Structure 1
């Protein structure tokens, strides 16, 4: 039984390449999204975590709005934080919406190490998302209403504890601008 050395080395190199390729592919799948929600999430607010189902259990995070009855042109601060010390935030996606429709206003990101804005259909900087999967105790976001806005809106919030555990489009109390 004779083995062609050239063919043998070629097959070994191909096998090594295939193993490295498969490891790289698996690591991409395991890591998930590290730089925020994809543009496809603009409508549904679903993070698209490899077909994982969302949680329907009570949200273990507080969604706090600093002023439930602001005046025209007042900015709002939204705070997301765990209800217990174990509840950390790995990812988030936030929009302000009027009647469950398209996002309104824009976010003014104060800490670019935690959040960034994306432009979803209908506006600019109208959605805030995480910039990395590092666990966060709390997220603070500043929202700027459209100029002269009068009406009511709510924040729609998706929060992820990890790649497999997330809650989609949970809402804050309604905020009225007079």
Structure 2
């Protein structure tokens, strides 16, 4: 009788331990396909889960390929927290795993092929768990985070979806605007052409015949004046050139 009592006590303790705790080392590798916690009873608990995915590090709910972001598994207000979780980035088009999580951090570890998912590392109650996620390469398209939350061994929510985040396309290159340069005609060339035209005009214009009768040396004086003017203009043209 005493042996039966001891056996019953141990069995009750073991069952109680299984009821209140999540798997202590995180979700098993088999959970990578559908994010099921692989507990003995895989029933989905009705209602909203005890946690949500916070995407405040994504401006405008958009991501840049290859950039690191913080994705937070956050307990809902009024709850005691959650014990276990599993989260994975999925392409919105076909739900294939995309992106990678950092290998480890506070209360979490990266799992599944190429570290595409993250899960808990202990069965303590958690208020929030920030995760470092690296966005997938260009051309992936929109992404969601699919996650499962465990409150107790038999109380959990599976395959919950976060908000959708779009891929940001920054393909436009910022090439420098070609500079516009204008070349003004040289002022000296313009001046030279003007003076040349002036000298040519002066040289080709014949003086008006004058009647020098009774005027003495007036005709010679006029010829001297014209010669002096032509010499002056010629010297000026030489100086400008």
- TM tier relative to shorter chain: 0.7 to 0.9
Identify the match of residue 102 of structure 2 among 103, 108, 129: 108
**2:114 is aligned with 1:130:** no
Which one has a bigger Cα radius of gyration?
2
**2:61 is aligned with 1:71:** no
Secondary structure in 2 matching 1:136: coil
Between the aligned partners of 2:120 and 2:85, the Cα distance in structure 1 is 6
**Does the 8 Å CA contact 2:18/2:153 hold for their aligned counterparts?**
no
Task: Give matches, 1:29-178, under 5 Å.
Answer: 29=18, 33-65=23-55, 66-67=57-58, 68-99=61-92, 100-109=94-103, 111=105, 113-119=106-112, 123-148=113-138, 150-178=140-168
Higher helix residue share:
2
Between the aligned partners of 1:105 and 1:175, the Cα distance in structure 2 is 13
Task: Give matches, 1:5-16, under 5 Å.
Answer: none
Q: Deviations over 1:94-142 (max 9, x none)?
A: 100013523111101452x4001112xxx31111000111111111111
Normalising by the residue count of structure 2, what TM-score does the alignment of the two structures yield? 0.58
**Does the 8 Å CA contact 2:83/2:124 hold for their aligned counterparts?**
yes
> Bigger relative contact order, structure 1 or 2, given CA contacts below 8 A and separation 6+?
1
Root-mean-square deviation (Å): 2.7
Q: Deviations over 1:12-60 (max 9, x none)?
A: xxx89xx5xx75x946755551100011111111101111411131223
Structure 1 residues without counterparts, runs of 5 or longer = 1-14
Secondary structure in 2 matching 1:124: helix
Q: Deviations over 1:47-101 (max 9, x none)?
A: 0111141113122322111201122322221112122242401000010001352
Secondary structure in 2 matching 1:151: coil
**Does the 8 Å CA contact 2:90/2:144 hold for their aligned counterparts?**
yes
